[in-house]
Structure 1
Amino acid sequence: MFTNGRQITYAEALNEALHEEMAANENIIILGEDIGQYGGVFNVTKDLINKFGKERIIDTPISEAGFTGAGIGAAMTGLKPIVEFMWIDFTFVALDQILNQAAKMTYMSGGQTKVPIVFRTQGGGGRGNGAQHSQSLETIFAHVPGLKVVVPSNPYDAKGLLKTAIRDNCPIMFIENKLLYNMKGEVPEEEYTIPFGQANIVIEGSDVTVVSLSRTVHECKKVVDSLKERGISAELIDLRTLVPMDSQTVIDSVKKTNRLVIVHEAVESFGWGAELSSIVQEQAFDYLDAPVKRVGSLSVPIPYNMALEKEVLPTEARIVEAIEEVLYTKVGTQ
């Protein structure tokens, strides 16, 4: 990682990536609602229309199925579209286009047709936006073969992973988090990309492995830092991408710590944490000194009331409790 001390926000890092890639590749276009003069609901597409014009920054009607289909068609015929969904919840309006068309077209054409498209969106709760604007749906897209799924947790990763996504030749779900847009972090001015399928060991430790991604990485970091005062050494891993998933880094860590806690904002039941838990159970069972623990959102629609919402999402207390359970519980004990 470069270190030049320059601090910019998560939104600014994404905006820089878009500026740089569009300047380098005239085939890149962006489609979505309010992405032009308005600059996007979170300012990620700010000023792009002034530089690249209305032919490449295309404000669309409120019709996700329509502009998603247009983007897929453009990708199949030589352009590099970036389709922005204002909220990840709205991707449901275009699931047929994403899951049945974009994800499957290369396979169904025997490799003759490529769909080099990036679906940019944001998810997560924490703002009191209600059940239809606060979901974490990354597992749905990770479940369907043909899509890559990218979920950056900080400005440095956001820029590097977005540039990699834009240069990729596959359909990609690039999922941001609404509470990270104003987060500042060090981002170099020099050119860089981050490869998919390469997890980041945020903090090294020896007593327990904690795996997360997106905003919950920061919640986990608070817990890991606080546990140091109690003499507990936790290793924190940020997966960065779900597809491809760097399970090997997690397995190597579990072989060292012998314990695993997985934390995600998505609903705990049927979440990606269950898949990772299964992988570790299958490939590193003999190294586990305690059952794998998962911490996710409660299995209810996200409440509008922020006090209730806070209790539904993973809390520091629940993360601490899970870590304590694996530290003090042995496999086979009653």
Structure 2
Amino acid sequence: MSLNDFQRTNAAGPDALYQLPQANSHTYSPTDTPAKKVIVQSLALSRLPGAMRSMGWHTAAALMQRWFDSPAWAMPEAWKVLKTQPAPLSLKPAQCDESIVKMEWAMGYERCREAVDEAESILATPNALKRLQALLKSAGWEGEGVQALGSRSMSALQMDAFSQVNFVKFGTVWNSLDDMYGALGNAVLKVGVVGEAFTEVNPVTKQVRYLFHIKQVGFYIRDHYDFNGLQYLGTWTEDRVLTKAETAFTLSLHGQVVLRLKEGPLAAVTNGDFRDYRDKTGKGGDFVIYSDVLWRNSGQIIDLGVWA
């Protein structure tokens, strides 16, 4: 599925847009005159993907449009906890997207490039070695002969199941408002390996070393697209999200008046608005995100340590 598949769809049809509540406020006034009431025109929640495209946020828009176009489904919180995540290969197509987020796009952002460099540096940490040993045992290796692991033809989802060894978290609330912020926010970059395990015997001591030759390294993003919990998602107009400075300005009563005159419909959006949309329309399906895989050649040989 390409990004173009999401460009011209409408979440609930042009006659069934879910309107966010109108914003009412009062201006300050001298005590001898009544306060003035200001009504800020409400914004249809399903207009947000269009606003994202207007800003050039095509990946964020595609992810949100997929959510709008999907049958209502709320992701269990347990799916977001490492120990209780479902097995990658158990995910149904409706619960997982592998087509929208591309590593070529993600590598255009410094925070992702830094995460890739960090992930490449932690292939032989104690946790990574423990994970690699477990993967080799699952593949049938008993510490003798040669055992291949992984393949360059694997998707990110397959790599997550069979050869992922470590991960790095990246992204913070302090990042600039950009396409990656809108698409992923805080995300996880995972790293997997393709290569083979083998043994080497010291001719003098006869001690056996268990080694792994990393031929290629694969990097990919795994994230959750859901609207659980309490989170403020920005103040939006039909064309864009307000900057952080502008958003702070709208917190003042007079700020709402100025923005109403300049921008037209606007709304402060939260996770709860999306849950309300789902309840009222029967649309809005959460999903797991997998990117494609960024491959790098390697030649590193790592010591697997004691084989137990």
Larger radius of gyration: 2
TM-score range, shorter chain: under 0.3
- Calculate the TM-score normalised by the size of structure 1: 0.23
- Calculate the TM-score normalised by the size of structure 2: 0.24
Relative CO higher for 1 or 2, CA cutoff 8 Å, sep ≥ 6?
2
